[in-house]
Amino acid sequence: MTEMSGADMVVQALVDLGVDTVFGYPGGAVLPIYDALFNHPTIKHVLVRHEQAATHAAEGYARSTGKPGVVLVTSGPGATNAVTGITDALLDSIPMIVLTGQVPTNLIGTDAFQECDTVGITRHCTKHNYLVMDPDRLGPILHEAFYIATHGRPGPVVIDIPKNVQVATGSYSMPETIDHQSYRPQVEPDPQAIDAAIALIAAAERPVFYTGGGVINAGPDASAALRKLVGLTGAPITSTLMGLGAFPSDDPKWLGMLGMHGTFEANMAMNRADLIVAVGARFDDRVTGRLDAFAPEAKKIHIDIDRSSINKIVPVDVAILADAGRALDALIDAWGAKGHRARDLGEWWRRIDGWRATRCLDFPEKKEPGAEIMPQRAIKALFDATRGRDPIITTEVGQHQMWAAQHFGFSAPNRWLTSGGLGTMGYGFPAAVGAQIAHPGRLVVCIAGEASLQMNIQEMATVSQYRLPVKIFILNNEWMGMVRQWQELTYESRYSNSYSDSLPDFVQLAAAYGWTGLRIDTLGQLEEGIAKMIDTPGPVIVDCRVAKLANCFPMIPSGAAHTEMILQPSDVTGTMDDEAKALV
């Protein structure tokens, strides 16, 4: 036990917990902690330009390293600005600790300057939150908060610390182990459930693996186990947006992403399968399409660390409540122990090859050098140019995000950072900042839409300050393309407020912040422009002008079945009934 101030305790606990980076923004209610961090030898504080960006940067840090991201913001507006990123981390299960300053305990509830009910506001967008009223509780709470953020299904934890608790002294010691009274997630799978699952897998004629972000969260070993199990069974595999990278996209068993903008083969395989093995995926509405038509012929196995995800949307036949990696290991062991061999799935693969033959990701384009660039082509060119460099890719939200998911191939986890559950425009650029801070030597590219980028564009200054070589690759279609696409499909092309008017000149903007700015206008400039982006040291913004009215296909309209995919622009009718309009 050591006696120290609350602020020193915060910093000591961060050191004891192995934290090397804090993303934050100062203010009155956190000045004591900022003072304790002043010239700190091991903790690097990254000063963002908006608290939302601090949370997304922490998410980018966390997603690319597997370690929790740490955020420090002041009370009131500092805390409320952080709410979007906290919610984003909750929906995508990202481990994050957010330290918020609060007015002194004696002023709580008096509408004091920069007071807000942070624990009240964040109660339902955190995995857990704390208001610390006693400096002696601060140490244990900090350690418990890290435990909760990183164990079980990861998520954000907020610790609200009144200013007088930061100034007052209390005793601190590093706990040896955290033995939580009530929070004890089940990590090891139930052997009976494993046996039941293996029996189903061994008997299946048309199996599909459907995997999600849980596999990434379970660590690189889980991805390795997934590859092994898929190899043993010879079954096809698809994944959610959040799960990309857990399985290599160049493997013949990879079907591509499934769901609303997934591939025809992935969605058809789900629809016709007799067994679905869901691993760390949560049957989100973007994935299932119309529920009563979802995988009608399939038995379902669901591996998840969160019991509330099981049977939430889709009732399953075998539930395995466990860490994805442990469950996959147990399945591999049981497969071997029972002496199973891969069945002949030839007939199933022939059907899948038939669906693949539609070449659903192909797109019409002109090939001459002066032609406009199709956005899909831009992504493919970026993918080709960065092969072998093991880049970390982040995205904003919109069509460009879906095109990136469809056309950029990933072969390892923790390289694909995108906002899935909340779909937060403004995520991608600060997430790239966080990833670059964690991996200074790596190539980090944010694939952005011109509209999304403007939601956190102020972070260009952060990048300049820390001399981060972040690359922003804008697919500039001059539209909130995804909104425009929905308006075209649902509202007879009445483009209400979806035009990106009054865009800045991104090249000049780059210059204003001391970045390099490049513009790519035609197909002939694409490869060279991308090469220049990669080869230019320091931060680069690329304003890549793409076809303005391109739509993202395939697409399952909201509330439609997997079999009702729109593959071509000509499949679009342009009207929808109210039932369909009411869906998101």
Partner 1 sequence: MKITTEAGERHVLAVTVDNEAGVLAKITGLFTARGYNIESLTVADITPDHALSRITIVTNGPPPVIDQIIAQLDRLVPVHKVTDLTDAGMAHVEREIALVKVAGTGDKRIEALRMADVFRAKVVDTTLTSFIFEITGSSDKVDRFVALMRECGLVEVGRTGVVAIARGPEAL
Ligand X SMILES: Cc1ncc(C[n+]2csc(CCOP(=O)(O)OP(=O)(O)O)c2C)c(N)n1
| 157 contacts ligand X (rule: CB under 6 A) | no
| 473 contacts ligand X (rule: CB under 6 A) | no
Measured CA distances, 309 to 55, 314, 565 (Å): 25, 9, 26
Q: Which of residues 346-405 bind ligand X (CB under 6 A)?
A: 396-400
Q: Which of Mg ion, partner 1, ligand X, none has residue 127 at its interface (CB below 5 to 8 Å by kind)?
A: partner 1
Q: Are 265 and 424 in contact (CB under 8 A)?
A: no
DSSP string for 499-515: B--S---HHHHHHHTT-
What's phi and psi for 319, nearest 5 deg?
A: -105, 130
| Dist. CA 31–CA 164, nearest whole Å | 11
| 436 tagged catalytic | no
| 482 tagged catalytic | yes
Burial class (CB in 10 A: 0-12, 13-18, 19+), 188: exposed
| Dist. CA 436–CA 447, nearest whole Å | 14
| 31 contacts ligand X (rule: CB under 6 A) | no
What's the alpha-carbon Rg for the chain, to the nearest Å? 24
* 210, 355, 479, 513: residue in contact with ligand X (rule CB under 6 A): 479
> Of 482, 533, 555, 576, which residue is the catalytic one?
482
The structure tokens listed for 544 are 């890549």
| 51 tagged catalytic | yes
| CA within 13 Å, CB half, 101 | 28
Q: Are 86 and 52 in contact (CB under 8 A)?
A: no
Which of the ranges 10-18, 72-80, 337-345, 448-456 carries the binding residues for Mg ion, by CB under 5 A? 448-456
| 51 contacts ligand X (rule: CB under 6 A) | no
| 480 tagged catalytic | no
Q: Which of residues 315-334 bind partner 1 (CB under 8 A)?
A: 315
| Dist. CA 258–CA 239, nearest whole Å | 6
The pattern of x and - marking residues 174 through 203 that bind partner 1 according to CB under 8 A reads ------xxxx--------------------
| 124 contacts partner 1 (rule: CB under 8 A) | yes
> Of 44, 114, 228, 365, which residue is the catalytic one?
114
| Dist. CA 345–CA 513, nearest whole Å | 56
Which of the ranges 53-61, 306-314, 395-403, 422-430 carries the binding residues for partner 1, by CB under 8 A? 306-314
| 114 tagged catalytic | yes
| Dist. CA 57–CA 94, nearest whole Å | 12
Nearer to partner 1 among residue 104 and residue 469 (C-beta)? 104
* CA 529 from centre of chain: 28
> Of 9, 59, 144, 163, which residue is the catalytic one?
163
| 424 contacts ligand X (rule: CB under 6 A) | yes
| 428 contacts ligand X (rule: CB under 6 A) | no
Pairing of strands 169-172, 2-5: antiparallel
Q: Which of residues 196-255 bind Mg ion (CB under 5 A)?
A: none
Nearer to Mg ion among residue 401 and residue 477 (C-beta)? 477
Residue of minimal Cβ distance to Mg ion: 449
Q: Which of residues 554-583 bind partner 1 (CB under 8 A)?
A: 578-579, 582
Residue of minimal Cβ distance to ligand X: 449
| Dist. CA 552–CA 483, nearest whole Å | 11
The pattern of x and - marking residues 476 through 495 that bind Mg ion according to CB under 5 A reads -x---x--------------
Which of the ranges 231-239, 372-380, 438-446, 470-478 carries the binding residues for Mg ion, by CB under 5 A? 470-478
Q: Are 468 and 435 in contact (CB under 8 A)?
A: no
| 529 contacts ligand X (rule: CB under 6 A) | no
**What is the residue type of 365?**
E
Q: Are 245 and 216 in contact (CB under 8 A)?
A: yes
Burial class (CB in 10 A: 0-12, 13-18, 19+), 118: buried
Q: Which of Mg ion, ligand X, partner 1, none has residue 483 at its interface (CB below 5 to 8 Å by kind)?
A: ligand X
* 70 strand-pairing partners: 97
Which parts of this chain interact with ligand X (CB under 6 A)? Answer: 396-400, 423-426, 449-452, 475, 477, 479-483, 500
Which parts of this chain interact with partner 1 (CB under 8 A)? Answer: 119-120, 123-124, 127-129, 131, 148, 152-153, 180-183, 306-308, 310-312, 315, 578-579, 582
Residues belonging to the active site: 51, 113-114, 163, 482
